[in-house]
């Protein structure tokens, strides 16, 4: 692993650690106050924050494993372990939803239990909303900066906490004003928010794990064919994730070129792609001799382009 990649993992690790400490503080505050005032929605939101903290631990483990350099058993590296950590978040989301649903059923069986909101409870939820916004913005910013799939996924997850906290705050205010009890309804809404976020994380992660195409083949081919000496570029394939992209492609060169010159062109292709496309890790180039007809057509096209520029 190069120094740049090592520094990336250290910085991502530091971001997750900060978010973990914030989530622990939020979870404890909401759960303790929620139990004291018998507010199911607040307890559910506290469990949601606790889930964030657990997923942060998974993220720390995933980042630690993904920073390992390629080895005999993992020749392409360990970057996908970060994606596994992101998917683990969705598993914990499902467990939390199950727990909240059980609490909802219990509350429906005992409707006489009413939340007794206090000013402290309202204050905790307002602080929670502010922190959730800041944490989501911070993780998304750092996720873009460090090309981290986990930080992107967790940013979306933390973003749902803000919506959940808004719902809880509304429920507490309504209960405080004695306008009714929508505690159970808000808890159900939190379940929907969590499941939606989990679905988004799973679909994004599956695209990476299933080697979904990352780059537009036509754009890569256009970039390569602008290199003098290359007749055409085809069979362009890409996979991976932002910051760790793998590309393989075929190029056609004049049949009369020496092996040495063809090899130099292949290296030039790799250099140009890595320079022009951010996040490319490796490029595999297969060189083929061009047919005479392809070479003639290429010359005609180049001539037309030169003529159009002078007109």
For 56-68, what is each residue's pLDDT tens digit? 887 788 777 777 7
Residue 112: band (very low, low, confident or very high) from pLDDT cuts 50, 70, 90: low
**Fold of the domain built from segment(s) 217-310:** Alpha-Beta Plaits (3.30.70)
The helix (run of H) or strand (run of E) holding residue 14 is helix 3-37
Domain boundaries 3-209, CATH class? mainly alpha
Residue 270: band (very low, low, confident or very high) from pLDDT cuts 50, 70, 90: very high
β-pairing, 280-289 vs 232-241, is: unpaired
160-178 pLDDT tens trace:
777 777 777 777 777 777 6
The helix (run of H) or strand (run of E) holding residue 110 is none
**Distance of alpha carbon 12 from alpha carbon 4, whole angstroms:** 12
pLDDT of 3 above 60: no
**Distance of alpha carbon 119 from alpha carbon 291, whole angstroms:** 80
Structure tokens at 59: 């993220």
CA-based R_g, the chain, Å: 27
pLDDT of 248 above 90: yes
- The domain locations on the chain are 3-209, 217-310
pLDDT of 306 above 60: no
Looking at every residue in the chain, the average pLDDT score rounds to 80
The pLDDT score that the predictor gives to residue 305 is 43
The pLDDT score that the predictor gives to residue 271 is 93
pLDDT of 311 above 50: no
**Distance of alpha carbon 75 from alpha carbon 262, whole angstroms:** 26
pLDDT of 301 above 50: no
200-237 pLDDT tens trace:
888 888 888 888 888 999 999 999 999 998 989 999 99
pLDDT of 309 above 50: no
The pLDDT score that the predictor gives to residue 235 is 93
Most confidently modeled of 1-10, 90-99, 167-176, 274-283? Answer: 274-283
> Max alpha carbon distance in the chain (Å)?
89
The pLDDT score that the predictor gives to residue 151 is 84
Residue 113: band (very low, low, confident or very high) from pLDDT cuts 50, 70, 90: low
pLDDT of 52 above 50: yes
**Distance of alpha carbon 150 from alpha carbon 155, whole angstroms:** 8
The pLDDT score that the predictor gives to residue 310 is 45
The pLDDT score that the predictor gives to residue 293 is 60
The pLDDT score that the predictor gives to residue 217 is 93
Q: Of 12-26, 144-158, 164-178, which gets the smallest average pLDDT? A: 164-178
Residue 291: band (very low, low, confident or very high) from pLDDT cuts 50, 70, 90: confident
68-99 pLDDT tens trace:
777 888 887 777 887 887 787 788 778 778 87
**Distance of alpha carbon 113 from alpha carbon 261, whole angstroms:** 81
The residue-averaged pLDDT of 93-122 equals 75
The pLDDT score that the predictor gives to residue 181 is 59
| More confidently predicted of 307 and 41 | 41
Query: By the 8 A CB rule, do 65 and 81 touch?
Result: yes
């Amino acid at each position: 692993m190069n120094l740049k990649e090592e520094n990336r993992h250290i910085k991502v690790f530091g971001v997750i650690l900060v978010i973990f400490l914030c989530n622990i503080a939020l979870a404890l505050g909401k759960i303790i106050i929620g139990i004291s005032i018998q507010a199911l929605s607040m307890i559910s939101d506290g469990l949601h924050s606790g889930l964030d903290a657990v997923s942060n631990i998974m993220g720390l483990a995933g980042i630690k494993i993904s920073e390992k350099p390629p080895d005999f058993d993992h020749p392409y590296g360990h970057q996908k372990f970060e994606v596994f950590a992101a998917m683990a978040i969705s598993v914990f989301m499902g467990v939390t939803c199950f727990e909240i649903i059980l609490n909802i059923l219990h509350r429906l069986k005992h409707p006489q239990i009413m939340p007794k909101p206090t000013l402290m409870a309202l204050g905790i939820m307002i602080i929670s909303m502010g922190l959730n916004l800041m944490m989501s913005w911070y993780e998304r910013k750092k996720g873009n900066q460090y090309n981290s799939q986990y930080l992107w996924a967790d940013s979306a997850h933390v973003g749902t906490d803000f919506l959940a906290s808004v719902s809880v705050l509304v429920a507490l205010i309504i209960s405080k004003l004695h306008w009714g009890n929508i505690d159970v309804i808000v808890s159900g809404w939190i379940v929907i928010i969590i499941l939606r976020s989990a679905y988004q994380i799973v679909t994004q992660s599956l695209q990476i794990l299933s080697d979904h195409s990352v780059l537009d083949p036509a754009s890569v081919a256009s970039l390569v064919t602008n290199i003098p000496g290359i007749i055409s570029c085809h069979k362009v394939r890409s996979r991976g994730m932002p910051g760790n992209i793998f590309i393989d492609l075929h190029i056609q060169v004049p049949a009369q070129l020496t092996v040495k010159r063809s090899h130099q062109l292949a290296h030039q292709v790799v250099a140009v792609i890595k320079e022009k496309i951010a996040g490319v890790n490796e490029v595999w180039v297969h060189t083929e001799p061009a047919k005479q007809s392809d070479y003639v057509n290429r010359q005609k096209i180049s001539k037309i382009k030169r003529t159009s520029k002078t007109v």
